[in-house]
Amino acid sequence: MTSTTLTAGALHRPLGASDYKTLSLAALGGALEFYDFIIFVFFATTIGQLFFPPEIPDWLRQLQTFGIFAAGYLARPLGGIVMAHFGDLVGRKRMFTLSILMMAVPTLCMGLLPTYATIGLAAPVLLLAMRILQGAAVGGEVPGAWVFVAEHVPARHIGYACGTLTAGLTGGILLGSLVATAINTHFTQPELLAVGWRVPFLLGGVFGLFAMFLRQWLEETPVFIELKQRKALADEVPLKAVVRDHRGAVVVSMLLTWMLSAAIVTVILLTPTFLQKLYGFDAPTALRANSVATLALTLGCVFWGALVDRLGAARTILIGGLLLAATSYAFYTGVRADASLLMPLYGLAGFAVGIVGVVPYAMVNAFPPAVRFSGLSFSYNVSYAIFGGLTPMVVTLMLKSDPLAPAHYVVALALLGAATSFFLKREPVR
């Protein structure tokens, strides 16, 4: 993988007020948009009851619900590739703002959809359509956010910036977990089925519009401005250059994204459902534990991001991948044996999942500035669409024969991520 540099004057300066403003606004906006994308999974059980025929088996209803959840991931490549194309040619900021609007509107609509009891099979079809629009939006948001902050800060702080931005995205998961906990605590089960499930989606639409307002205070990245001034923007379709000239970087980035998707989707997004279905925890307890794990994840992203600025991507991902494998296995097996270990083991596993904050650092450094947005977006979104989108269904099917399927899946992918570190450029300790 090739390393990239920012403008000469930005290499060694300390973080300034404008950097912190950019990081804060980007992270907050990303948190609000990511909340919109993932709130679906916290109400997967309720959505399954409302949007599918009541007479089908429970496992099939859950599989179909996760299938609609997965559709958002499958739609990510198209949205990401289109936004990245224009992000490399006309500017990072414009696409960074557009993605917010594309997320807010379908989220608001999801909160207003009629259910299966009202309009029959049209209900899951409309839900699927809204989920696809969400996926297209987040396909441009996440890679665009990583590129945006990485190109604003000094080169020696890119790891911290990517970790902080990823912490903001995971903060959206935490916000979703807290909202889900509050709603499940406040509403009875009949009230939840009647109207309570709509509240988080309506809130999400409002959050998204607020995030779009915040983005107006951001400025275009210095790297893109310099490329434009030097007339060094891509002179062909950026994705064509990525596929032709940077295949190795694409493969490594996709493998790292597979580890990221396994950790986030399984340990953070799906586990609240597994805790209820497999281990017998009630919904409020499972969601409180998830909030603890997600908070630990958010802190972990910043920790691992700061560490990569000192140790380099290869060493950090190797250490973090091994820790993720160990803590995930300890969590799923430990909680199965002793329910009182739920909070500490889930928190420890969540902190280890924070290694995902290092993945964007490796990917940003994999591609040159002229095609960086397209290279990162293509690698990340295609990999997430395949592996992240199929994870819920794969793990659900594995559970039919393996009660420790979540543990085995995460361990395997964490070890793959650790092995991938050997193919990263060995960066000197700074």
Query: How confident is the model at residue 361, as a pLDDT?
Result: 94
Q: Does the structure show a pLDDT above 50 at 430?
A: no
Mean pLDDT, residues 217-229: 66
Q: Looking at residue 327, what is its pLDDT?
A: 97
Q: Is domain 15-423 in CATH 1.20.1250.20, yes or no? A: yes
Q: What is the pLDDT of residues 342-384, one digit of tens each?
A: 999 999 999 999 999 999 999 998 888 888 888 898 899 889 8
Instruction: Give the pLDDT band of residue 419 (cuts 50, 70, 90).
Output: very high
| 185-203 pLDDT, tens digit each | 889 889 999 999 999 999 9
3-state secondary structure the chain: CCCCCCCHHHCCCCCCHHHHHHHHHHHHHHHHHHHHHHHHHHCHHHHHHHHCCCCCCHHHHHHHHHHHHHHHHHCHHHHHHHHHHHHHHCCHHHHHHHHHHHHHHHHHHHCCCCCHHHHCCHHHHHHHHHHHHHHHHHHHHHHHHHHHHHCCCCHHHHHHHHHHHHHHHHHHHHHHHHHHHHHHHHCCHHHHHHHHCHHHHHHHHHHHHHHHHHHCCCCCCHHHHHHHHCCCCCCCCHHHHHHHHCHHHHHHHHHHHHHHHHHHHHHHHHHHHHHHHCCCCCHHHHHHHHHHHHHHHHHHHHHHHHHHHHHCHHHHHHHHHHHHHHHHHHHHHHHHHCHHHHHHHHHHHHHHHHHHHHHHHHHHCCCCHHHHHHHHHHHHHHHHHHHHHHHHHHHHHHCCCCCCHHHHHHHHHHHHHHHHHHHCCCCCCC
Q: How confident is the model at residue 72 (pLDDT cuts 50, 70, 90)?
A: confident
pTM of the model: 0.80
| pLDDT grade for 6, boundaries at 50, 70 and 90 | very low
Q: How confident is the model at residue 155 (pLDDT cuts 50, 70, 90)?
A: confident
- The domain segmentation of the chain, as residue ranges, is 15-423
Across the range 394-399, mean pLDDT stands at 88
